[in-house]
Amino acid sequence: MNSEGVVQSLLNRVDACESSVGAWAWLDRNLALQRARELDANPVRGILHGLPIGIKDVIDTADMPTEYNSPIYAGYRPTKDAEVVSRLRAAGAIVLGKTVTTEFAFMAPGRTRNPHNLACTPGGSSSGSAAAVAAGMVPVALTTQTGGSTIRPAAFCGVIGYKPAFNRYPTAGLKYLAPSLDTIGLHAQNLDDLAHVSAVLAGDEPTTMPLAPIMPPRLALVRTHHDHLAEPHAMQRLEHVAEVLAAAGAQVRELKLPALFADIDPLHRVIMSAEVAQSFNTEWLGERNRLSPELLDFIEQGRRHSVSAVADARVRVQSGKDLYQVMLLDRELLLTLPAPGEAPVGLTSTGNASFNRLWTLLGLACITLPAGRGVRGLPLGVQLVGGGRSDARSEQTFIANARWCQAALASI
């Protein structure tokens, strides 16, 4: 099928389910079809030639509004694309539209519903990206994660979610929430598209392909201080996944996180709130009455933290990063939950990020893989946590190991 045919088929899918799911903040059908026709009429543009992609609406696009799900920026048009969007277009991707985000990628939800059960949250803050991919409206969508905004929605919606190591992709043109934590990521239907898009976003050679794993991976089934928050069936599924992977040849051991990680976990909120207060100083001073109560409260928390308290938090977090590097065996990945369980019923909250914040704080690469369904019939996932290196080789190996695990879990 040519690019125009692919785009038209996706637009037909949008027509069938967008009115109930509400994944898109902006979608320009004519622009997407025009771009597809231009690609069809010319030689192959790049490794992503003709691939439709959604862009989370906190990432700038010059030809579409970027509104951050905030009334403050209704109708706002950036003057240029974010760097990641420019790279996608240069590689031949078709920007289908902008996906719904929570307000400024924080907590106040948008209108998006979970395609698997419209009464349930799709997760957040990358709500529209997860729902659009899950509903088959687009194969890949850009996300962000400052706490759990890529990994958790992927688990709730049953898609692959990828938060690369910190600084893997450029963030110029992103509306920053907390710059030392903000990470652009991906939701995708398959690992091949994810690997290709990631290579383009990172500026790697266009022929970069994921490495086939030389041997089954080493995995540490991690026990964390948040395990008591998990739904029993989610924890049972995680343990079953570990058994399946071990039976397929993976080396699996159990690992209890050292107490240091429980101690530094709350520092995520200290650092994040302080940076949010800085990032939104203009809005707080001039448009305070148009910010959600949740964001206002968080900004006020951040303004109360002293410079020395934030600096001390960063020092303590670095000790956690150092410990992580010596805690694992060579080439070992963590195996853990991406969320407490199935997507919660209701649309006033996007769920609990407790199973995500620590890994974001440490700047680590994470992938969510679908792992069957729970007792309510909604998707469950598992999370692989890698290292903090942002080079191409490390990413290729990480994705290759995820591919091995996905194949082993095909029957779940």
367-399 tens-digit pLDDT: 999 999 999 999 999 999 999 999 999 999 999
Write down which residue in 295, 311, 327 finishes a domain.
311
Is 240 domain-assigned?
Answer: no
Is 363 domain-assigned?
Answer: no
Is 345 domain-assigned?
Answer: no
Is 226 domain-assigned?
Answer: no
pLDDT of residue 209: 62
Is 407 domain-assigned?
Answer: no
pLDDT of residue 303: 98
For the residues 257-269, what does the mean pLDDT come to?
A: 97
pLDDT of residue 211: 67
Is 71 domain-assigned?
Answer: yes
For the residues 349-359, what does the mean pLDDT come to?
A: 98
Within 10 angstroms of residue 272's Cβ, the number of other Cβ atoms is 25
For the residues 252-271, what does the mean pLDDT come to?
A: 97
Write down which residue in 202, 233, 259 finishes a domain.
202
- Report d(CA 298, CA 278) in Å as an integer: 11
How confident is the model over 317-329, as pLDDT tens digits? 999 999 999 999 9
The closest of 228, 174, 238 to 201, measured between CA atoms, is 174
Q: How many domains does the chain have?
A: 2
Proportion of the chain above pLDDT 90, given as a percent: 96
What confidence tier does 180 reach under pLDDT thresholds 50, 70, 90?
very high
Tell me the pLDDT of the chain averaged across its residues. Answer: 96
pLDDT of residue 197: 97
Q: Are residues 178 and 291 in the same domain?
A: no
pLDDT of residue 215: 84
DSSP string computed for 112-163: --BTTBTTB---SSSHHHHHHHHTTS-SEEEEEESSSTTHHHHHHHTSEEEE
| Residues carrying an active site annotation | 56, 125, 149
Give the domain range for residue 273: 267-311
Sign of CA dihedral 353, 134, 237, 210: negative
How confident is the model over 72-131, as pLDDT tens digits? 999 999 999 999 999 999 999 999 999 999 999 999 999 999 999 999 999 999 999 999
- Report d(CA 297, CA 192) in Å as an integer: 41
How confident is the model over 31-78, as pLDDT tens digits? 999 999 999 999 998 999 999 999 999 999 999 999 999 999 999 999
Q: Are residues 26 and 159 in the same domain?
A: yes
pLDDT higher than threshold 60 for residue 208: no
- Report d(CA 412, CA 409) in Å as an integer: 6
Q: Are residues 296 and 172 in the same domain?
A: no
